[in-house]
Chain A
Amino acid sequence: MKEEKKLKVFNVGTSWFLKPLEDQGIENYNLDWSPPAKIDKDISSILKKLGRK
């Protein structure tokens, strides 16, 4: 049998599943995340004309 490594969990998204990790004594980190800003179509086309993405 292999020697087992220690489970370490990094959460991205809802914090709902963090409590179960804590209840089981699992080392965990909640990583800050939010969706990338959506660029308006008009602004996007202006940026493209300016040669930028």
Chain B
Amino acid sequence: MIYLEEKYHVIEGRYIDSVLLMQISREIEKMQGVSKASCMVATAENISFLEMAGFHPPSGVSGNSIIIAVEAESGQKCEEAINGAIRLIDTGMVQHKTSYTLDDLPDLITPDDFPVVFISTPGEYVYDVANKSLDSGANVHIFSSNVPIDQELRLKTKGASKGLFVMGPDCGTSIINGKGLGFANALEVKGDIGIIGSSGTGIQELSVLMDRNGLGISYAIGVGSNDLKESINGIMSKQALNFLKERCSAIALVCKKPDPSVEKTLLESMGDIPSVFISLGRDKQYSTGNTYVTGNIDDAVSHLMSKIGKGHKVQQEAFPKVKEPGKERKLLRGFFVGGSLCYQAQAILHGMGVHVYSNAPADNQYKVKKDFDNLDVCIDTGSEEYVAGKPHPMIDPVSRNSFLVKESGRTDVRVILFDVILGYGSAEDPIAGLDQMKSGPVLVASICGTEKDSQGYQSIRRRLEDRGVVVFRSAARAAEYAGTMMR
């Protein structure tokens, strides 16, 4: 019998970003005699995550603190690990230290630059950083969420008056002249198609499927999920549209639930350039002028292929035959890292008569929080209630993947649906731990990625298929297949 010791250390009032804390956790977990370790911002959510992981953290720890939790073979080993973590926090792991600050921006920008300040601070600090960046003549890409809407409006109004972009907030992806910012894929085809996107994984899925079909992208301007709401009135979408019209041969706009007045203005502004307007989940397609309006990314790519492609059609992926699960298996359980892919899956499933609940619902009557044990669900594990104080699951897929493993062991689950997103910024191994999945339910996944992505599309696909997962390139097609399995 091995007795393990636990120890905790709390650092009050210190800010360390959650990604760095994740990296430090991994480092100290490698220390001899340490069985598990975690460094986290001590939010209530993270404290309960520690409890779920078998720790017994002290009560009353402030949410502004960092908690280091260690389980090891002895108290001394715990102390060594905690001291190691403190050392890494203080010195060792802060890479890329520079002597520059925001005050140096004006001196670092030259007239030949397309300068972008990439902001991933907590939301409450974004306004000051972004405002100062705009004053210095830089565009901003705001990765952070939780930026108040009035601040977003002020920043975008100011940006537009200066001809600068305010990408985001809550913007995961942009592509500037063929180079990716944030989460983006290593695309293989050079081209001059432009994307405007209010959804990060929507941009990634669209760009990867276009790339796969020989359509090259030069720009993707991420405008953030609020831009197509009346309160922001598409300020940055309109600016992006004008910018792209001067540079691109075709434009694709991808969004979720645009407000009708903003959608109308944008459609009127598209002009003659060949374009697609993808409002995820829309169930009707139509054309207006040279713009094709649809609710499905695959359909949009097919349309672009017919308009500007090299004549070949998009090959729809076939549905493989698998052994039908028993009748006692009734539930569909979807766990996504990509919010837009979760949204699109819900819309497709609703359209097939499979009414899935979600924490980020495509249809508000199917809203659910955390009590969804016996429901058909598509859960966005990248939404705020799952990531507060933790890295996004595209960076650290452990918690999402542990959901998948747990659900696969249930005897009442019929289909498990999930997404895997490769590319810059995504975890080195986005399917870590999934070799523990059981094969009772039908396991269905989509992979958004290219062979040039560092994780390697084929290698990830092979590993999933070896576990019995049915794999699709298209998230829409994966959702359709999952829906078929529910009939």
Question: Would you call B425 and A17 a contact (CB within 8 A)?
Answer: yes
The docked-state distance in angstroms from the alpha carbon of A32 to that of B98 is 7
Within 8 Å of chain B (Cβ to Cβ): is A2? Answer: yes
By beta carbon, the residue of chain B nearest A35 is B15
Residues of B within 8 A of A9 (CB): 115-118, 181
**Taking the complex as formed, is B398 at the interface, i.e. its CB lies under 8 A from any CB of chain A?**
no
- CB-contact partner of A14 in B13, B120, B133, B184, under 8 A: B120
A residues 1-47 with Cβ under 8 Å of B?
A: 1-2, 4-18, 20-21, 23-24, 26, 29-36, 38
Q: Kindly state the interface size class of chain B when it binds its partner.
A: 35 or more
Are B113 and A6 in contact, with the CB atoms below 8 A?
yes
Answer whether A11 and B118 are a contact pair too, CB < 8 Å, given A20-B424, A32-B101: yes
Instruction: Decide if B246 touches A2 in the complex (CB within 8 Å).
Output: yes
Is A5 a contact partner of B114 (Cβ separation < 8 A)?
Answer: yes
Q: Which of A18, A20, A30, A32 contacts B180 (CB 8 A)?
A: A20
In the complex the two chains form, is A2's CB within 8 Å of B121's CB?
A: no
Interface residue B179 (Cβ < 8 Å from any Cβ of A): yes
Q: Kindly state whether residue B327 has any CB partner on chain A within 8 Å.
A: no
Assuming the A-B contacts A8-B109, A10-B138, A14-B20, are A35 and B121 also in contact, with contact meaning beta carbons closer than 8 angstroms in the complex?
yes
Complex interface: chain B residues within 8 A of A24 (CB): 179-180, 424
Residues of B within 8 A of A11 (CB): 96, 117-118, 120
Closest B residue to A34 by CB, please name it: B15
Return the chain B residue nearest A5 by Cβ. Answer: B114
Q: Are the CB atoms of A7 and B114 closer together than 8 Å?
A: yes
List CB contacts (< 8 Å) of B100-131 with chain A.
100-102, 104-105, 108-109, 112-122, 125, 129
Chain A residue with Cβ nearest B246 = A2
Bound form: Cα–Cα A23–B185 in Å: 12
Q: B residues within 8 A CB of A20?
A: 180, 184, 424-425
CB atoms of B101 and A4 under 8 A apart: no
Report A-chain residues with C-beta under 8 Å of the C-beta of B151. none
Query: Is A15's CB under 8 angstroms from B96's CB?
Result: yes
Q: Which residues of A contact B119 (CB under 8 A)?
A: 12-13
Q: Which chain B residue lies CB-closest to A24? A: B179
> CA–CA, A4 to B125, complex, Å?
31
Closest Cβ–Cβ distance, residue A6 to chain B (whole Å): 6
A22 CB → nearest B CB, Å = 9
Given known contacts A20-B180, A33-B129, A35-B122, A13 and B144 CB-to-CB distance under 8 angstroms: yes
Residues of chain A with a CB closer than 8 A to B118's CB: 9-13, 17
Can you list 25 pairs linking A and B with CB atoms under 8 Å apart?
A1-B247, A4-B177, A5-B177, A6-B112, A7-B179, A8-B115, A9-B116, A9-B118, A11-B118, A12-B117, A12-B121, A13-B118, A13-B144, A14-B19, A15-B94, A15-B96, A18-B95, A20-B424, A20-B425, A31-B98, A31-B105, A31-B117, A33-B121, A34-B15, A35-B125
* A residues lining the B interface (CB < 8 Å): 1-2, 4-18, 20-21, 23-24, 26, 29-36, 38
The 9 closest A-B pairs by CB, nearest first: A13-B120, A20-B424, A30-B96, A5-B114, A14-B17, A16-B19, A8-B113, A14-B19, A13-B121
- A sample of 18 more A-B contacts (CB under 8 A), given A7-B114, A14-B18, is A6-B113, A8-B116, A9-B118, A10-B133, A11-B96, A11-B120, A12-B102, A13-B17, A13-B143, A13-B144, A16-B19, A17-B182, A17-B425, A29-B98, A30-B97, A31-B102, A32-B101, A38-B13
